[in-house]
């Protein structure tokens, strides 16, 4: 599975980073950086939770 970021939609709330810091972080400018794009089975739940907490649905899995 791949994490897909809809960057224009991202508002930099950072709630995704709070639940999946091993997969993504906000840089100093508040821009979301995906540290992992292709998630393995062990990372899938964290990726789903990160996509879930985003209040603007800027993340999805495909």
- Identify the residue among 9, 22, 35, 37 touching other proteins (CB under 8 A): 9
E runs forming strands in the chain? 3-5, 24-26, 32-34, 59-61
**Shortest approach of other proteins to residue 16 CB, angstroms?**
10
Residue 17 engages other proteins in binding (rule: CB under 8 A):
yes
Residue 40 engages other proteins in binding (rule: CB under 8 A):
no
Query: How far apart are alpha carbons 28 and 39 in whole angstroms?
Result: 24
Cβ atoms < 10 Å from Cβ of 50: 25
**Shortest approach of other proteins to residue 5 CB, angstroms?**
13
């Amino acid at each position: 599975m791949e994490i897909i970021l809809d960057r224009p939609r991202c508002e930099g709330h950072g709630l995704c980073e709070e639940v999946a810091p091993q997969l993504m972080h906000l840089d100093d400018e508040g821009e979301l950086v995906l540290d992992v794009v292709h998630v393995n089975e062990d990372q899938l739940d964290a990726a789903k939770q990160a996509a879930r907490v985003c209040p603007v649905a800027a993340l999805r899995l495909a």
